[in-house]
Structures are given as C-alpha cells and as structure tokens.
Structure 1
C-alpha cells in the first residue's frame, strides 16, 4: 500500500473566531473536542503502523487547549513523527508572547507551523498579532507557512510585501460550511478542476471520531466517512480506505473524469454547474449528491474493476 504522509487531528471545533470562510463553522461557543488520551492513542497507532510520518493538529483553534497540544507534540516527537500545527495566531498579542510561545512549541518538537491570516480572520485576529509572530520566528526559526484564504474581491495581504521572504500560500475559498452561507457565488475564484486527486494521502480524524480520507474543506459528508475510530483501529480504517471504490476512482481518474463519465451514461449531478473552485469543490459536490451516487453505483463498480485491471497489468 502507498504510504500516507499525514494523520490529521482536528482537535476541536471551538475557536475564538467565527470567520465567514470557515468550512467547519467554528465559533467560541462550541465545546466538542478530542480527548487527549484518544489523540495520544491515535498517534501511537500511527507510529506502530509505519504508514505515517507526520501528525497534523488543527481545529477550530487547537491552542485554546495549549497544555494538551504541547503534550501531543512531545509524544509524537518521541515516537519519531513530524508535527504540523495550524493556528490563527491569537497568541501573538505582543512580541514577547509570540516569542515565548514559539520557543515552547519548538522545545516540544514542533516541526512546522501554519498561520492562517486573511481578510476573514482579520476581523478577529489583528494583523499586528501575525506580524509579531513573523518577527519572533526570525529568532526561533520554526519552518512556517502563512495561509491566506482569498475570494475574487480579496485585497492583497498587508504583510505580504514586507515579509515576501516568508512562505505565503494563497488558497481559493471553497463554498463549504459557513462560506457557503455567507459568500456570494459570484465572488468565488473558479479555476481548474481537472486531473487526479493528489490530496487523499491522509487520514483526518474529527472530534466526533469520524475519519475521512483527506483534509478538504467540504469533507464532513456521510459518503466520505471511512468509519469511526471508536469502532475501528487506524489499521482497519486504512484497509477501508484502500478498498473504497469511489475514492479510488477519484484518486486514479479524478472527479472531473467521473462527472463526465457519468454524464456520458445519462447520470447528472443535481446541482449542475459549469465551473468549480477546484478539484476539492467538485469532489464535495459529488459526495454530497446521494441521488447521483445511487445512480452511479453500477458504473462505479465497472470503473473500479477497470482500474484494478490496469493495476494488474502493471505488475
């Protein structure tokens, strides 16, 4: 089996922000989170499986539970696993705070840090906080990426020019969660959605114990669930993923190929549209359409058999 790169732990849905772009609709009043003992168990299983080399921790805002996150980082580091933490940077209120936090994270073994900052986060987290983190990290030196969610009307990030030497990543906002409710369809940045899926090299565990095959914004769909870690081990979930016919078609052929193959056989998505933000956007539209999936069942079986035969020929 192909090795996966990351086990993602969405540690909590609780967040100090309520961003309009949030795919999980996080906000301060949510309390759902992972138990620390469970998170440590998942990491242990990941290490034993020899399938993962990295643990990703996100939310919500995972650092609202700082003591627990630090224990997770230390435990994963002790097992030889890399760690990535995604945060909105609420802890960068002062340069001193940012410096102290970064030093602690590095001491506990954090491999890389992702800071989410954009027009949506800025309503809750000042850009000054982010700048404090960037300045402090020049001393601490944790590999850091800055993730900026954009729509067609988004202004340039005010820190990007000044800190152009940093690793900036722009991500087109996908209509999922709160974004689907608050952002006008004309304001999304539609683009290329062809090709095979290259994002399903992960397992992502949510606070409710359900597991998904990637970290796409719109993954919280019943058809995308691989199972629950309260019922299946990580090893068993990997086997479920390996045998998931629809998912394998998405990985080997891509969602656009599947959509067009279905249309050629008279099967159409109920929400017909000619443009999508990305592969992930189209993929979530496919997995959300129960009627389409039901009609496609015999074709999915046929396409999956073709893919298996192609793999056999390459042996």
Structure 2
C-alpha cells in the first residue's frame, strides 16, 4: 500500500496554459528548496517500501541538469522512475535522442507527455511528433499522451496532425476540471460525464503520496486536490512512513476508502449546516466532488462531529 511517491519540483514552465491546475508560467518561481528536494529524493530512494518515484512540475526539463542530478540519486536503488513533461524539448531531434538515451540509463520506465489545444500555443506539434517517433527506438521508456479537453477543445485536429507518430502510443483524453487557471474557463465548457446515481463512480480512484512545490504533502495527484485542505504535512522532517501512517489512520481518509464519497454526500444533503455546499448531480470526475467538499477548513470542521460519531460506532 502506498508504494508510489510523486515529487512536484516547481511551478516554472515554458508555457502559461489557460487550463493549468498549478497556474504555472515562465515567470513563476514557486519551488521547494533544491537542498530539501535532494534530501527528500534520497529519503524516498532509500525507502524499501517505495517502488515508484515520479517527477512532475511545472516543466521539469527546463532545469535538465537538476533533473539528472535527482535521477542520479535514484539510480543506485533501482526504483521505477516516471516523468511528466509537455515535450517542448522534442523540437531538437538530436536532443530528443540524447534524452531518451539518458532516460534509459536512469531507468525511466514511463514518460507522460501532456499536450492538447491548451499547450499548442507554447509547444510546437513537431516536438511531440519527434518524441513519439523517437520512442520507437527506445522501447524501455514507455511514452503516453495525456490530453485535457473541453467541449470546444477536444484536440481531435492535434491527433490528426500527429498522424502515424502516435500509432502504438497510449492516448488518454480526460475532461477538464474547474481548478487552478481553469476556474476562468466558461462553465458550459466542462464535460460532466458522471452522475451521483452511479454509485461505483463515488469512490476515490486511488491514493498516492505527493510532495508539492508549495511545501504541502497531498494524498493523491489529482489536480483537484491541490485546491483543498487535505494536507498531510506536520513538519519539514516528516518521514514517508509518518505520512503513510497519517493517510492510513486518519478517519476522513478511512471513510473515503471504506464508504466512498456517498457517505459525505449524504451527511451534507441531510443536515442544514451544509446548505452552502452544492454537490452537482453530474460531474467530470469524483475528484471534482472531493474538491468541493474539502476545499476549506470550515467544511472539514463541520464534518468532524459526524466523522467522530462514525468512528465511535467502529469501537
């Protein structure tokens, strides 16, 4: 349980996408201290309970020497490594080959490219095509393409323009959620594909320890969680084991795992003190509902007596 750790290195990015959940941009400088990141990555690498270490941002390839430094820390421990990038660096075929050679050396198992109509103004499609085609030469690093979409921006044209380069590549389209910069997008653009009546969709899709560049530690990597108060950090020196202990023993997360979000929804809909919380009948992801419920301390405080009553019923 909890075998994966994600490190979000910083908010600096070559792009300033209008949908970015972290509001990243070329001017953004929010980041954990590099010395702390080195120490953190060493701690995670030395932990025998961790199988996978993932790096994301911002755009992690903007400071490629530092990324390589971190990969060098991880390499002796033979962890599985995954990376997330917008692929801007793929515009140079020579550089793309070098990066793939080095990813293979550093045991990078998966490279996820985030690219869609929101990224297109900042990253040339030729760069993405080069990466996809180059991945055929280096099969040890599995490449996939993630696309955030709205009703007006389904990115079908991009897929057509990528042509044969994406044959054999896993492509995932996911509906955008109104978090981060996406809060400014017109509400009628969001695709609400799930319903409250679908009980199977009211469970958290998974937990994963995420060290965010704002200093917080979150229980998953969903874009929606970073705009909530679900922070697991107690201190800067907090170990991974203590973080897992908090995630495993906290009554809120226990109910989330055991009962799903139906339990929270019922409490909110049945009690008048929650009138300010509006749970939509349809939503783009259960993560969107999570964001609505846990976005502030007030909501969590109001839920606490009900959670404690639930806990006492377990004794």
For 1:243-287, what per-residue CA distance to the aligned partner results, in whole angstroms no more than 9, with x for missing partners? Answer: 221122222222243112331244536241332211100001111
Q: 1:271 to 1:20 in 2, by over 3 A?
A: farther
151 and 303 in structure 1: CA distance in 2 versus 1, 3 angstrom threshold? farther
> What secondary structure does 2:135 align onto?
helix
Unaligned runs of 5+ in 1: 310-315
Q: Secondary structure of the equivalent of 2:103?
A: helix
Closer, same or farther: CA 229–134 of 1 in aligned 2, 3 Å: farther
SS of 1:147's equivalent? strand
Find the aligned partners of 2:311 and 2:290 in 1 and give their Cα distance: 17
Q: What aligned pairs does 1:62-211 form with structure 2 within 5 A after superposition?
A: 62-141=60-139, 142-155=141-154, 156-159=156-159, 162=164, 163-181=166-184, 183-192=185-194, 194-200=201-207, 202-211=208-217
Q: Are 2:222 and 1:216 equivalent residues in the alignment? A: yes
After superposition, the C-alpha distances for 1:4-58 in whole angstroms (9 at most, x for unaligned) are 1311100010001011110000011111223343223223323444332101100
Offset of residue 159 of structure 1: 2.9
Sort the Cα spacing of 1:267 and 1:25 in 2 relative to 1 into closer, same or farther, 3 A: same
> Which residue in the other structure is 1:313 paired with?
none
Q: Residues of 2 paired with 1:55 and 1:31: CA distance?
A: 23
Which of 225, 236, 239 aligns to 2:231? It is 225
Question: For residues 148 and 226 of structure 2, what CA distance do their matches in structure 1 show?
Answer: 19
SS at match of 1:125: coil
**SS at structure 2 position matched to 1:85:** strand
Match of 2:57 in 1: 59
Q: Which runs of 5+ in 2 are unaligned?
A: 196-200
Offset of 1:173 from its aligned partner?
0.8
> What are the Cα deviations for residues 185-237 of structure 1, in whole angstroms up to 9, with x where unaligned?
1110112263321321x111112321111111122246211115514222222
Residue aligned with 1:232, SS: coil
Deviation at 1:96, TM superposition (A): 2.3
Which secondary structure does the structure 1 equivalent of 2:87 belong to? coil
Work out the CA distance in 2 between the residues paired with 1:249 and 1:218. 19
1:251 to 243, 249, 257: 257
Task: Quote the residue 2:32 is aligned against.
Answer: 34
**CA distances 1:61-101 after superposition (whole Å, capped 9, x unpaired):** 01111011112122212112111000000101132222222
Residues 179, 227 of structure 2: 8 Å contact kept: no
- Pair 1:303-2:302 in alignment: no
Superposed CA RMSD: 2.0
How much has 1:305 moved relative to structure 2?
Answer: 4.4
User: What is the distance in 2 between the residues matched to 1:152 and 1:199?
Assistant: 27
State how far apart, in whole Å, the 2-side matches of 1:256 and 1:159 are. Answer: 37
- 1:312 match: none
Matched residues in 1 for 2:298 and 2:98: separation?
53
Task: Give yes or no for contact 1:144–1:167 (8 Å, CA) kept in 2.
Answer: yes
Contact 1:210–1:228 (Cα < 8 Å) also in 2: no
Aligned partners of 2:90 and 2:312: how far apart in 1? Answer: 52
Call closer, same or farther: CA 1:257–1:151 in 2, change over 3 Å: farther
What is the correspondence of 1:19-30 to structure 2 with a 5 Å cutoff? Answer: 19-30=17-28
**Greater CA deviation, 241-250 or 159-168?**
159-168
Per the normalisation by structure 1, the TM-score is: 0.89
Q: Is the 8 A contact 2:268 2:277 kept in 1?
A: no
Q: 2:240 aligns to what? A: 234
- Alpha-carbon distance in structure 1 between the residues aligned to 2:213 and 2:296: 24
